[in-house]
Every structure is written in C-alpha cells, then in structure tokens.
Chains A and B, each alone.
Chain A
Amino acid sequence: MRPFLDDLAPAELRVLARIRLAVTARLVAAAAPLDPAVRELSARPFRLALKVPGLPRALVAGLDGRVSAWAGGEAPPLRLPADLTLLFPSARDCARVLDGVPGRVLPVPGGLHAGRALRFFRAAAAAAPRILKSPETPPAVRAALLLEAAVSALVETAAADPYVAPKLEHAPDGLVVVDAGEGVRRALRKEGTRLRLVPVPGEDPGSAGAEPPDGTDPAGAGRPGGGRAEAARADAVRIDAILAFRDPGAAVAVLSGKKSAVTALGACEASIRGLVPLVQGLFAVLDRASRYLAVKADKEAGHGR
C-alpha cells in the first residue's frame, strides 16, 4: 500500500475512512471513563454520529453515564436520531480529520444535545491519544485502548477490504478470544470473510480469564481455579482459539505495531491455543489494517519517511 493518503486508490480511501470512523468511535467511548473532564462531559445523555456519504456511520452515545460505540453498520438497540452528526464530505476528509490534520467536516445538529455531543467529542478525541501516549498510563489501560482500536480495525478491514478476503476464506471459522492480560479481553467471531465483535464467553465481573474448554491455562500464567468453571460456561459458546499475551506490555508492543506477532510468539510474549489457523487469519487482517492506519495524511506536514 502506498504510504500517503493522496496516493491511495478511491476504494482504499473508503476502507481507510471506514477504519478511522470505527476506531475513533470506539476509542473515544473507551477513553471516556479514563479522563476526568471527558467523564464529566459524558455524565448526561447525548448521541453523536460520524458519517461519510456512502459508508456505514459510526455512533457514540452517552447514556446513564456510560459511553458506548457502534460502527460498521452495527446499530444501537434504540434507533433514535443523533443529536449531532459530524459529516465528512468525503472519505479523504474523514481520513484526514480523524488523523488530526485539516480537512472538511460539517457539524449537522439533529437533536437537543448537539452542543453536549460536540463538546464530548472534542474532549474525548483529544484525550484518547494523550492517554495512549502518556508514560503515566498503566500498561493494562494502554493495552485495553489499543485492543479496542485493533479489534474495530480488524472488523472494518475484513468487511470492506477485498484484499484480505482470500486469507479469511482460507482460515477456518470460529470464535477467538484475544487476552491482553490483567483482565483485558475481547472476542471476535469469524464467519467466512466476516469478523464480528462478540461478548467474551463466560465473561463476568471477576472471572479469572478466558479458558479453553479443556481447562488448560491459555496464557500459561497458572491462574488458579478458573479453568473448570470457565469450561462449563464455555460449553455453551465454544472458544475456538485464544491469543493470549503474557502481559499488557507484550500486547501493547504487538498491537501498536512495534513487534510482529510471529516474533512475539517466538519470544513467548504471546501464545496461541486452539485453532491456530484461525488466529493466523486474524494476523493477516491485522497486518493489512496496520498498513491502513500507518498511511500518512499529509506529505507536506513533515510526515513521511
């Protein structure tokens, strides 16, 4: 893939915009409780949409003090109009603005809380990268944010980019749990060439961790107790593979692209249990998604190699 936004083909631009919409929506939602000012701004309800004509919109909604996000055509349980839609006239504008460089964006009010939604978005969109970069951020928090970004990028790349279709088609179907350590987990279901975010099977507050059905410890961390209880619960929804990082730091290294997954596996900083080719299929998509996310918005702004 070409390294600069202006060199991408129109279809690639649309994939990139879709990824940016989803990653941004999920990141701002995930960052909301982590920053006092943003938490304050999300205390009261709002609904915000991010939209590019011709692409599925992303939604961020604050309700009961909790911020949730939907993207890639997923819909919230209640289909209410957004208080504010941030409308990007083109995929290129979307990719630019959401990468932090100038571009066109039109705020389109649609409800009573448009101002609140905008204030929230501005604060949260600034907070997310700040939290990610800050040395004070605990590795588990950074890992959780990066995992959130990674899974949404995976889902969107699989949905929108035909490039990864042959690899996904080749990989077996099933449910993968990604365990970044310290309780940070996300689950994806792969069906054909599609990926879907799904609840982590057996996840409840205080559960010990994702376990394969036989009760062997996926991360090799020797967590006491959890295995058999988890196995019973996992019977209902079978976990086909587990990608477990040794600790959040190891997860951060791979999810931020500093270390390749295969190298992390060899260094025992990550392990795969279960259906290895299913996870290999995800690696192929992750690789492609990372290329999109590495595309530079601006040649002039001192970006580039």
Chain B
Amino acid sequence: MIDVIVIGAGPAGANAALDAAGYGLKVLLIDEGRDAGGQVWRPKSTSIKKAPKTGAIVQGDTLRQKVRNSSIEVRFETRVWHIETDESENWLLALVGPEKEYTVKSKTLIIATGAYERVIPVPGWTMPGVFGLAGATALLKENMIVPGRRTIVAGNGPLLFFVASEVIRLGGRVSAVVSLNGLWDWVKALPAMLMRPILLLQGIKWILSLYLKRIPVYWRHGVKSVEGKEKVEGTSLTRVDKDWRPVPGPEIYIHGEALCYGHGLSPAIEATRLAGASHHFDPTLGGWVPTVDQYGRTSQSGLYVCGDNAGILGVGAAPIRGAMAAKAAYEDLSGNTGKEINKVIKKRAEIFGRAMTALSIPRAGLLDFIENETEICRCEGISRAEIYQEIKFGARSPNAVKSNTRCGMGPCGGRYCSETVALMASDFTGKTREEIGLPTARPPLRPVVMGEITDDLDYDDLPIPGVSPL
C-alpha cells in the first residue's frame, strides 16, 4: 500500500514528495503536466531547444533532477478526477492518464494543486486577444512567445509588473500597464515586502524597467471596456476610487493587439473540498482556503495540504510548506518525530505573500464595470442581467443561482464565474462571502472522457443490485 499520494508536482508538492520519500515512505506523485515544476517552474516546451538560464529554469531543472533521483513513483500527464475514502479509511483516487490505471489507494494524501487565475469580467473580455495574467505567464514561460504586437497589461497585484517585464525581456512591446492598485497601496505593503528584500528589489527593477522604457503606468485605473471588431484593438480606461469604482474623468484610450488581464490568483480548492475538508474565507490568503494547522493538517484525518491551494503565499513559501506537510504525514503515520523545520523562513514568506495577495483581492467596485449584457459565465453564455435577476428574486446561494441560470454548469465547473457570482450576491445582500458560501463540490475535478476512465463493460459482470420494486 502506498503511504502518501501527492497531487501536484509544483514546488510545494514535489518537495513534499521528496521529503516524504526521504523519511522512507512509499510515495506516489501525480501531476497533469509533462514533468515536475508546476506553474512557476514550468518546463519549457520540447520544441524550444535553447533558452537563457533564468532562475526559474535552473530551480525547475534541479527539482526535476531530484525527483528523478529519488524513490518517488511518478504519474505525469495523469489527472485525478475523484477523491473519496474506502471502508478502511484509505484514500481512493480515480485517475485518467496514459497508464490505464483507473484507481489508486493510499494511507495519506497531500494535496498541492496550486492556484488558478481570477478574472472579473468587463465588457469585451471574451474577445480573442485577451489573456489572463497567469495564462500569459504560462505562454511566456513555456513557449517564449509574446501575446501580441503591442500588449496592454491590466489588473492588479504584483503579477502585472512581472508579465509586463517578461513581455519586454522576450522582445515584445508593452503599450501600457494599468493598475487598479494605487502607488499608495504599494507603499503600504513596503514593510511586509521588506521581509523578502530580494523579491522587493526584483519588483523595483521590474517597475524601473518600465519607466526606463517610458511605458506609461496608470495607477488606480481600470479597463472600462475592451474594444475591437473581431479581436482586441485597444482598451478604454477609467480612474477608480479606493473601492475600485470607476470615477468620472477624461476618457483614455490605449491601442494594443493583446490584453493581459487578471485579478490575482484563487487557491485551487476543488480537490480538498471533494475530499471533505473544512474551508473558510480569508481575503489575505486569496479567498476560500482549507482550514489547517501550521503544518497543513486539514480537518480530515490523513489529509494534508501545501502550496498556494492552502492560501496564496507564492513560490517563496512553497518548498517549506511542502516539507511541513510531509513531516506531518510522516509523524501521523509513524509516530516518530520528523526533521526540524526553520519556521522563520515560512513566517517571512507568509507576511510577504499575504501582503501581495491583499493587493490582488477584488474590491466591490469592480462589479460596477460589468454591464447588463456582459457575459459572466463563458461556458454557458450567461449575462450579468440573467444572474442579477435570479439574485433579486431570492436565489442567494451559489447553488441556487447555478440551478436557475446554468451559470457554472459548463466544462470549467464554475472555476471562472463563481467568484463574480459570489461577489454579486454578497454585494446585493450585504452578507459576507462566508455567509454566501460555495457551490457543492462534485466530481470530476475536470471533465473526463467517459471511454478513458473505465474499461469496456463485460456485460455478464454487470453488478445487478435488486433495486426496483414492481
């Protein structure tokens, strides 16, 4: 029997797996990617033969090497689509991948599924040429391609400046950076940023490089609409107040063929929710997060978390969070004491990470940018007006809005729209996000092709439970 399954081979999960293997545990590491590294240390596309050795590449390559040299069993290009426990309290996972191994069991489970992009809609946001900020970083990292001839970078938080500087580094042109945060927001975050002086310097370097290239940075501005006939041709901007409500002022129009646009990261909590852990809402951790002790033990026995899915603290904290989860799993399994962990590094990373995340948390004013016809749910094509009508009529929970409108019933599983719906419900009712709640977690974690998750049926093997009274 496997001692520990780790889902997610980013810096947090891969390090958790390495430490767990180091304790002598039998470990299985699963990731949907081609190799370890996750979003931040993403391996380059195999078609790219030569690339400059950036820090991320070196760190990623080192991690991948360590995993290869360890006793960890790996399943790449494999997705977990359901999580449950069996009658002896072991974890039972359903898989889809090249191995045709449909289920696997373990004594403990570490979930390190990271984070995904949060985007609050504006008119025109579904036009070709609009990329999420995080999606753009993936494109830049994996394929070394810039999104368009001239790129507009807009949204909030630190990712804006990273994306803009990467576009420039790869030889692209940035026509403007549009930040909902004011300079003052950043100044207030300075003390926390001093916890990680190197990252602070790096940030300053990014911003300076923009000023040196005379790229306009619009502080406390937001994208009012994305303009273009068939694809992005530009965006109009507006100033915002401290709640990020648009305020009247001169119209600003920026030309550009690509818009990188986003509002920070959301912890990817579908897996921990499916596994039955308790969650709570903490804006400085990025929203809903599993409720854990300092090592990442969840409310479910034998279930641990590490990395951004346990709260957005970034890559700085990830390896230590991985080590802590592995230690907890090892101690709970064996009764022995795991190795000492330097919690100071985690503490500093946490102060820094929370400050950065607080810059990205959407504020209520963003709802004012959305027009009645603006699409909220892309999969099902549901507009703000349709959702608003249901909320007004009394559907106040994410489940009720979903049932009534189909918002969130498409292939993305509500990943992209549920945040906006919850913000709308909270704004309308005056209730907290905690009171508004989350939609019920259901499998599959991502859509799965039916023929890939089961063998063909041997008809005589069909279990026929007598269930039908005449």
Please determine whether chains A and B interact with each other in the same assembly.
Answer: no
Residue ranges of A at the interface with B (Cβ–Cβ < 8 Å): none
